[in-house]
């Protein structure tokens, strides 16, 4: 007995929503003819130019963060500071409560990621390996909501949160972002690629469904869990609109909100603004470099961000 959907339309819909080549591992292309030397040189020149285009803003950001304010805008452009103003990286911590912002961002990102991965993979097991009435209808509802822009229902959410007294608490954003349909969808797409024989065999061996999930499916889908965790972490860390709407007091602010507010208040402190920007990006750079293949795999599978 295979556990495919009772409604073929559900799988078709899920397939249509997932990018067509979902689940394929992106590889360096090992096939096809080698490029001719002239074309190869041209390609490298093009790629170098594009890399420059990507890196110039980052380079400018780091370079400006090490300048005095009046050196940031100069004619001609100073790519390397004449004098490295390292003190920017010391002073910023006292200019704005950056440490609090970082702590808040970290707390929200970790909590939301944990809940999203846990409830998402748990629900995905129900949607892919169990068979019961109403399952497929429910899954279609999940998928459909992914296409609805958040702006379409953020006002009722806000009213609910206001009535529950949760506006201006971290809990509001945790609740809003931890139970998204995205995690369920991403994990289900992975779980569908695991042969049902595996869970069938475990059932025959007397394992109950919860243990099958914990002992067999979870260990098998570690890359998927990593993808979901990283995508959720980064999108929570970078989220602006949610915290912007819900957090009014300064001590709840995330790095993004804090940075934006700093820019609004001291718009001539160019160097310090860049210092704050660099610091806000560093955690993401670390997370990204540690797990970049999971990011790219996660996107290639789901086609969605968190």
Partner 1 sequence: MAIAATRAPVRPQSRARARRNALVGWSFILPNFIGFAVLTLIPMGAAFVIAFMEWDSYSPPEWVGFDNFERMLGNQSFWIALGNTAYYAAGHIPLTMLAALGLALLLNKRIRGLGFFRTTMFFPYITSLVAVAVVWNMLFNPTMGPINQFLEWIGVQDPPGWTTTSAWSMPAVIITSVWRDMGYYMVLYLAGLQAIPQEYYEAADVDGANAWQRFWNITIPSLRPTTFFVLIMVTIASFKVFDLIVVMTDGGPGRATLVLSQLIYEEGITENRFGYSSAISLALFLIVLVFTVVQFRIQKRKED
- Determine if 126 is a binding residue for partner 1 (CB under 8 A): yes
Among 4, 8, 12, 47, binds partner 1 (CB under 8 A): 47
Whichever of 90 and 286 has its CB closer to partner 1, that residue is 286
Cβ proximity to partner 1: between 42 and 99 the closer is 42
One of 69, 131, 196, 218 touching partner 1 (CB under 8 A): 131
**Least CB distance to partner 1 at residue 172 (A):** 10
CB of 146 to partner 1, least distance (A): 9
Closest CB to partner 1 among 126 and 225?
126
- The answer to whether 82 contacts partner 1 (rule: CB under 8 A) is no
Positions in 240-299 near partner 1 (CB under 8 A): 240-241, 244-245, 255-256, 259-260, 263, 270, 273-274, 277-278, 280-281, 284, 288, 292, 295-296, 299
Residue 45 as a binder of partner 1 (CB under 8 A): the answer is no
Among 92, 108, 181, 272, binds partner 1 (CB under 8 A): 181
Are 120 and 186 spatial neighbours (Cβ–Cβ below 8 Å)? yes
Compute the distance between CA of residue 190 and CA of residue 279 in angstroms, rounded to an integer.
35
Name which of 217, 227, 219, 210 is nearest 196 in CA terms.
217
Q: How far apart are CA 235 and CA 150, in angstroms?
A: 14
* Least distance in angstroms from the C-beta of 98 to partner 1: 13
Query: For partner 1, which residue of 45, 56, 286, 290 counts as binding (CB under 8 A)?
Result: 56
Question: By CB under 8 A, which span of 24-32, 80-88, 191-199, 219-227 interacts with partner 1?
Answer: 24-32
152 binds partner 1 (CB under 8 A): yes
Among 90, 99, 141, 171, binds partner 1 (CB under 8 A): 141
Residue 185 binds to partner 1 (criterion: CB under 8 A): no
In the complex, the smallest distance separating the C-beta of residue 251 from partner 1, rounded to whole angstroms, is 19
Nearer to partner 1, 47 or 99 (CB): 47
Q: What is the DSSP string of the chain?
A: -----SSHHHHHHHHHHS-TTTTPPP-----SPPPPHHHHHHHHHHHHHHHHHHHHHHHHHHHHHTS-HHHHS-SS--SS-SS--TTHHHHHHHHS-HHHHHHHHHHHHHHHHHHHHHHHHHHHHHHHH---TTHHHHHHHHHHHHTS-GGGTHHHHHHHHHHTT-TTSHHHHHHHHHT-HHHHHHHHHHHTTS-HHHHHHHHHTT--HHHIIIIIIHHHTHHHHHHHHHHHHHHHHH--HHHHHH--SGGG--HHHHHHHHHHH-TT-HHHHHHHHHHHHHHHHHHHHHHHHHHHHHHHHH----
Indicate whether 28 belongs to the interface with partner 1 (CB under 8 A). yes
Count residues contacting partner 1 (CB under 8 A)? 116
The token pair at 133 is 């009435």
Of 99 and 241, which has the nearer Cβ to partner 1?
Answer: 241
Stretch that binds partner 1, among 4-12, 30-38, 89-97, 219-227 (CB under 8 A): 30-38
Q: How far is the CB of 203 from partner 1 (least distance, A)?
A: 7
């Amino acid at each position: 007995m295979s556990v495919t959907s009772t409604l073929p339309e559900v799988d078709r819909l899920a397939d249509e929503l997932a990018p067509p080549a979902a689940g394929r591992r992106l590889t360096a292309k090992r096939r096809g003819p080698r490029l001719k030397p002239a074309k190869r040189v041209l390609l490298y020149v093009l790629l170098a130019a594009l890399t420059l285009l990507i890196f110039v803003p980052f380079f400018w950001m780091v370079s400006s963060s090490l300048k005095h304010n009046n050196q940031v805008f100069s004619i001609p452009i100073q790519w390397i500071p004449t004098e490295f103003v390292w003190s920017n990286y010391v002073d910023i911590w006292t200019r704005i409560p950056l440490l609090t912002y970082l702590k808040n961002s970290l707390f929200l990102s970790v909590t939301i990621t944990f809940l999203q991965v846990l409830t998402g993979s748990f629900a995905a097991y129900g949607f892919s390996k169990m068979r019961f009435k109403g399952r497929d209808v429910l899954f279609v509802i999940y998928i459909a909501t992914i296409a609805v822009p958040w702006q379409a229902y953020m006002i009722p959410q806000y009213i609910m949160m206001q009535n529950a007294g949760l506006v201006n608490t971290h809990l509001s954003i945790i609740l809003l972002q931890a139970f998204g349909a995205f995690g369920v969808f991403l994990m289900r797409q992975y779980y569908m690629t695991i042969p049902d024989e595996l869970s069938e065999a475990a059932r025959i061996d007397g394992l109950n469904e919860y243990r099958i999930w914990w002992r067999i499916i979870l260990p098998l889908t570690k890359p998927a869990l990593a993808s979901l965790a990283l995508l959720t972490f980064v999108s929570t860390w970078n989220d602006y609109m949610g915290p912007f709407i819900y957090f009014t007091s300064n001590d709840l602010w995330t790095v993004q909100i804090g940075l934006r507010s700093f820019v609004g208040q001291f718009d001539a402190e160019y160097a310090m603004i860049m210092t704050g920007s660099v610091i806000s990006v560093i955690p993401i750079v670390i997370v990204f470099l540690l797990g970049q293949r999971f990011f790219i795999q996660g996107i290639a599978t789901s086609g969605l961000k968190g």
